[in-house]
Amino acid sequence: MPDLRSRFDELLRRLGEISDIERANLLLEWDQATKMPPLGAAARADQLGTLARLAHEHWTAPELGALLEELRELEESSEPESFEASVVRVAHWDYEKRRNVPSDLRAEMKRAASLGYTAWLEARDAEDYEILRPYLERRIALTHEYVACREPYDDPYDVLLEDHERGMRTSEVEAVFNRLKAELVPLVAGIGEPVDDSCLHGDFPADRQREFSLEVLSLWGMNAGAWRLDDTVHPFALSLSATDVRLTTRFEPDSLTGVLSCLHEFGHGLFERQVDERYSRTPLHEGASSAFHESQSRLWENVVGRRLSTWRFFYPRLQELFPEQLSDVTLEGFHLALNRVAPSVRRVDADEVTYSLHIVLRFELEREMLAGAVTPADLPDAFAAKLREYLGVEPADVLDGVLQDVHWSDSNFGYFPTYALGNVIASQLWARATGELGDLDAEFERGEFGVLREWLGEHVHRWGRVFEPAELLERIAGGPLDAGPYLAYLRAKVDAIEAA
């Protein structure tokens, strides 16, 4: 095996170089969304395109393919969960997925995504969807080219989905989403008068929201040595290494939604922070999949972040920071407001019960756009029609409608469904965690969140991409993707609110 060992070192060297290029590109993206002067956009699109091309060229180098073939022997002679077998297996999968895709196309897709992001910002400023439309058309044309490189497939959407969920098929998503739709549409339609959440709206200066958010996140495990929190238009999280984790948020001076967005992004950041550091500079060093990533953000935002026991600990401090807004609001009243259920137009502000319907409609529209049944010109109306049908709401303008989300401008199709899958997985993980650890409320009331953080680190985070998402879920939850626990959780939530 000594020669295989040196070949494996050569593999690590190549993967390390690719990882460095990919992380540098993440910094270009982070900077674009947080710091870059607006006129830097055109050059930035070129820079992102070039680095995407280089990463792709390195991924698809025939020498890498040959090296991976040589290393099959090492993979097969090692334990499947070992570092060696996992690196070779996952790298092989990544290589196969890319090898028929031309570098020019990859570069152009990245460049078009960056230009799309800038167009989205401009379209929002001008409240004019037409500014974005040609960029969306361009991106769909590139998506068709990309899908064509990846033949054969059962469903063209499979190709896009697999970029986010290794091993998952569109038909599986469809089955879960049909169940969500069948149960949630009537549940939402039957909801009575929503609770009053006016205590969440008012005068909430951004700097104090930031102060409060950082206090919560510090207690949860964030620290200035390895994390940052910055402002952006559409919040996201990413990491440049296990010890360089970047959260972003948007604080609005008239509501507390930015605080919730921080709790959400923390879940993403924690995943990246807790992947085994040994996997650094390999393809294992990322969250298991987009849906698993989202399960973590939704878990910290919703399951923990909207929980009574959590606020028993944090609410006095929040009242102290916003006495004029909150001194007359009881903990129970605040908690109820935080869990208000009411159909609304904006996904990022949606309550937990209606949230997944926002995703179902986007998934359906993506598939219709891919099939040509809905064109970018049709999109604003088609978007509004689905909002009406599933949620019974009407967007007042394009900012509340088709321009509300960044992802059609800057991300590839196949990403949106992972948000709702994340909700489903979060409920499955939570059921398992509390099955093992008890209900955790006593800990949360005392401000102790380390037990949960460590359980997630041990069972989910540290593994990075070692397991396929379905395999990881099976290991932890003892079964496949199952909307049951999530739907039960939502029904219990609705019942609790109606009983209040």
Q: CA-to-CA distance for 430 and 274, rounded, in angstroms?
A: 18
Nearest to a copy of itself of 31, 368 (CB atom): 31
Distances (CA, A) of 3 to 7, 72, 323: 6, 13, 68
Give the DSSP H or E segment for 241: strand 237-241
243 scored as a contact of a copy of itself (CB under 8 A): yes
Cβ atoms of 13 and 87 within 8 Å: the answer is no
Residue 47 or 86 having the CB closest to a copy of itself: 47
Burial code (b: 16+ CB inside 10 Å, e: under 16) for 285-302 equals bbbbbbbbbbbbbbbbbb
Of the pair 26, 321, the CB lying nearest a copy of itself is at 26
Residue 447 touching a copy of itself (CB under 8 A): no
How many residues are given for the chain?
500
DSSP state of 347: G
Which of 22, 75, 108, 265 is catalytic? The answer is: 265
Q: Which of 4, 12, 61, 226 forms a contact with a copy of itself (CB under 8 A)?
A: 226
Burial 437-473 (b: 16+ CB within 10 A, else e): eeebeebbeeeebeebbebbbebbbbbbbbbbbbebb
Interface residues for a copy of itself in 27-46 (CB under 8 A)?
A: 27-28, 31, 35-40, 42-44, 46
What is the spatial distance between Cα 13 and Cα 228, in angstroms, rounded to a whole number?
29
Binding-site member from 20, 174, 441, 474 for a copy of itself (CB under 8 A): 20
Which stretch of DSSP H or E encloses residue 58? helix 41-59
Given candidates 241, 255, 309, 375, which one binds a copy of itself under the rule CB under 8 A? Answer: 241
Stretch that binds a copy of itself, among 60-68, 237-245, 250-258, 368-376 (CB under 8 A): 237-245
Half-sphere exposure of 250 (CA within 13 A, CB side): 10
**What SS3 class is residue 228?**
strand
Quick check: is 468 catalytic?
no
DSSP state at residue 302: I
Stretch that binds a copy of itself, among 171-179, 220-228, 427-435, 490-498 (CB under 8 A): 220-228
Part of the chain binding a copy of itself (CB under 8 A), chosen from 63-71, 205-213, 236-244, 345-353: 236-244
Indicate the residue type of 96.
E
Contact flag: residue 23 with a copy of itself (CB under 8 A): yes
Alpha-carbon distance of 314 to 226, in angstroms, equals: 24
Q: How far is the CB of 206 from a copy of itself (least distance, A)?
A: 16
Among 11, 33, 53, 236, binds a copy of itself (CB under 8 A): 53
Give the x/- contact pattern for a copy of itself in 254-283, rule: CB under 8 A: --------------------------xx--
Nearest distance, CB of residue 56 and a copy of itself, angstroms:
13
Q: Which is closer to a copy of itself, CB of 37 or CB of 190? A: 37
- 499 near a copy of itself, judged by CB under 8 A: no
Catalytic (active-site) positions: 265
Residue ranges that bind a copy of itself, judged by CB under 8 A: 16-17, 20-21, 23-25, 27-28, 31, 35-40, 42-44, 46-47, 49-51, 53-54, 224-228, 240-245, 280-281
